[in-house]
């Protein structure tokens, strides 16, 4: 019998999703947002493919046929995993696909902020160079990457990949993780000694707002904070104030607390020379998205074959 497979937010993945190797009925929707839409579109479906569609307990209760939620991402905070487990629904995710794309985005933000590339480019566009009395001007401080210190919070596969790139650039690397590893330092050391801090931890009750006013005050005044993980890791109001009053030197964010920010977001709306916000695209190189899409299908096929892989425990 053909299995019903539904992809609820297909437009979130710009890659080819190959045909499954088992009898199936496949349906995809560009986007799905409301619980009512989710329940309607997943009626009779055994397999749901999602990226950022919220799958909460009340929704899952209305989907008795659902057996698998295949998340087209590494983070699974959109799924109520405890409710899924209680209902016998397996949750799987994507792993080790962003080993180039996220580190390269982090390095790009680091260069842009440390060397003030964006504010200088904007100043030229405004005509500031035309008015300069000298051949150049120094409105924004520029700092070398080589010889500076990178602090990595979350030293898993991505953190280690970034560390290799940083060392190749002549940076000193400090790393912190809740899981014991050789060579780690404590969080305070990261905060006080780093010129650049980059976050690579999941969003959990323990990590929500892990960087707030207290932590920002411990950072160097010239330090920059980069977040390509999850928006909820940082207190956005505290960060904005720290950027405005010079508590830290800059920030590069690829994520915000609510995505998309349909009701507005203070970081997205701030016009500051030391802040760069990109729309959650650090993961989205063409190459990485195709790796992700292929693994998404692999995960589904493995589950149907009775050999589930990349299972996320509640």
Distance CA 184, CA 278 (A): 30
Contact 140, 119 (CB under 8 A): yes
Strand partners, 3: 24
- Catalytically active residues are 230, 259, 280
Long-range pairs of 172-176 with CB within 8 A, sequence gap ≥ 24: 172/147, 172/148, 173/149, 174/149, 174/150, 175/151, 176/151, 176/152
Dmax (CA) of the chain: 77
d(CA 81, CA 252): 30
Tokens 């899409």: give the residue. Answer: 293
Q: How many CA atoms lie within 13 A of 70 on its CB side?
A: 24
Task: Give the chain's radius of gyration (CA, Å).
Answer: 22
Residue 51 CA to residue 253 CA, distance in Å, equals: 20
Distances (CA, A) of 287 to 16, 70, 217, 312: 11, 20, 38, 24
Q: Which residue has the tokens 């790139």?
A: 165
């Amino acid at each position: 019998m053909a299995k019903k497979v539904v992809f609820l937010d297909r437009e979130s993945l710009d890659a080819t999703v190959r045909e499954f190797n088992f009898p199936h009925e496949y349906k995809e929707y560009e986007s799905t947002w409301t619980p009512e839409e989710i329940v309607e579109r997943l009626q009779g479906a055994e397999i749901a493919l999602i990226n950022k569609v919220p799958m909460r307990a009340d929704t899952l209760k209305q989907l008795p046929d659902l057996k698998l939620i295949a998340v087209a991402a590494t983070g699974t905070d959109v799924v109520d995993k405890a409710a899924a487990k209680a209902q016998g629904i397996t949750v799987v995710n994507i792993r080790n696909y962003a080993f180039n794309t996220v580190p390269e985005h982090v390095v790009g933000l680091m260069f842009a902020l440390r060397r003030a590339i964006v504010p200088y480019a904007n100043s030229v566009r405004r005509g500031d160079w035309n008015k300069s009395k000298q051949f150049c001007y120094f409105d924004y401080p520029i700092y070398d990457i080589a010889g500076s210190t990178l602090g990595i919070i979350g030293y898993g596969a991505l953190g280690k990949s970034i560390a290799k790139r940083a060392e190749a650039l002549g940076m000193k690397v400090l790393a912190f993780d809740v899981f014991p590893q050789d060579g780690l330092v404590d969080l305070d050391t990261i905060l006080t000694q780093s010129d650049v801090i980059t976050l690579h931890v999941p969003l959990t009750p323990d990590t929500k707002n892990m960087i707030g006013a207290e932590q920002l005050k411990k950072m160097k005044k010239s330090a920059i904070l980069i977040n390509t993980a999850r928006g909820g890791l940082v207190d956005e109001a505290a960060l904005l104030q720290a950027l405005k009053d010079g508590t830290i030197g800059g920030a590069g964010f690829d994520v915000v607390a609510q995505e998309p920010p349909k009701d507005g977001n203070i970081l997205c709306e701030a016009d500051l020379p030391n802040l760069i916000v990109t729309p959650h695209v650090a993961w989205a190189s063409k190459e990485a998205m195709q790796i992700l899409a292929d693994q998404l299908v692999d995960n589904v096929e493995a589950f149907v074959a009775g050999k589930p892989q990349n299972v996320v425990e509640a």
